[in-house]
């Protein structure tokens, strides 16, 4: 389980494999490495991956086809930055919202609006059915960052970034055309899916 509060940013240092399976390494700082071990779960851009092994300060993860198909990992390049969140522990403060790390789709940035200390980003999702889970003032995870939805129009939604989010996550460096990972709020999805089942009986 994760909370969408990013612990740090790590940089891709190696990628080995192909379009259906690859292993990649990312450089962690000392804080992110603390007590990390093989088998632990770590959210990489919001996607829960298992630590394969650790060599010095490089942490390696396997990425299978199912994950490649649902995320932006097929676009990874050496030197790219990744939002990292270590898994939540019992007693941790839930500063964002509960995130499973199960990315369901990606979105493309179509607009970025800048003003003093403020940034609004517009995202487009090409899977119309997912939009029923994206509600005004609801929760969403974008590349692992817990955000509140500011506006929804057709297949697009907007989020407002505070200076802290811009500074401490990769969202501050995103550009129009970039692809991000999306996880909708689990409880919203559960409520809508169960309501549809009852209504369709």
- Asked whether residue 94 is domain-assigned, the answer is no
Shared-domain flag, residues 178 and 111? yes
Shared-domain flag, residues 194 and 115? yes
Q: pLDDT exceeding 70 applies to what percent of the chain?
A: 98
pLDDT digits (tens, 9 = 90+) for 46-82: 999 999 999 999 999 999 999 999 999 999 999 999 9
Domain of 149 in residue numbering reads as 105-199
Residue 91 predicted with pLDDT over 70: no
Shared-domain flag, residues 191 and 125? yes
E strand or H helix at 164, and its extent?
Answer: helix 163-168
- Asked whether residue 128 is domain-assigned, the answer is yes
Long-range contacts, stretch 10-15, CB < 8 angstroms, 24+ apart: 10/59, 10/81, 10/82, 10/84, 11/79, 11/80, 11/81, 11/82, 12/76, 12/77, 12/78, 12/79, 12/80, 12/81, 12/82, 13/58, 13/78, 14/58, 14/60, 14/78, 15/76, 15/77, 15/78
- Asked whether residue 193 is domain-assigned, the answer is yes
- Please report the pLDDT score of residue 103 as a whole number: 97
pTM, to two decimals = 0.93
CA distance 45 to 127: 20
pLDDT digits (tens, 9 = 90+) for 159-179: 999 999 999 999 999 999 999
Mean pLDDT of 86-104: 82
Q: How confident is the model at residue 98 (pLDDT cuts 50, 70, 90)?
A: confident
Print burial letters for 115-148: b (CB count within 10 Å at least 16), e (below 16): eeeebebbbebeeeebbebbbeebbbbbbbbbbe
Shared-domain flag, residues 113 and 193? yes
């Amino acid at each position: 389980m994760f909370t969408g509060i990013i612990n740090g940013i790590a940089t891709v240092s190696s990628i080995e494999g192909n379009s259906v399976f690859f292993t990649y390494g990312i450089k962690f700082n000392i804080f992110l490495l603390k007590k990390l071990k093989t088998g632990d779960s770590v959210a990489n851009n919001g996607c829960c991956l298992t630590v394969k092994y650790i060599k010095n300060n490089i942490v390696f993860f396997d990425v299978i086809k199912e994950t490649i198909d649902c995320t932006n990992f097929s676009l990874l390049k050496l030197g790219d930055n990744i939002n990292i969140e270590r898994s939540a522990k019992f007693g941790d403060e839930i500063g964002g919202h509960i995130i499973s790390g199960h990315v369901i789709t990606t979105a493309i940035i179509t607009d970025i609006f800048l003003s003093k200390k403020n940034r609004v980003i517009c995202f487009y999702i090409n899977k119309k059915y997912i939009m029923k889970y994206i509600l005004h003032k609801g929760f969403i995870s974008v590349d692992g960052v817990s955000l509140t939805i500011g506006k929804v129009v057709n297949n697009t939604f907007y989020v407002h970034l505070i200076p802290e989010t811009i500074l401490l996550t990769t969202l501050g460096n995103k550009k129009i055309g970039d692809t991000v990972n999306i996880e909708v709020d689990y409880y919203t999805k559960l409520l809508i899916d169960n309501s549809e089942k009852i209504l369709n009986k």
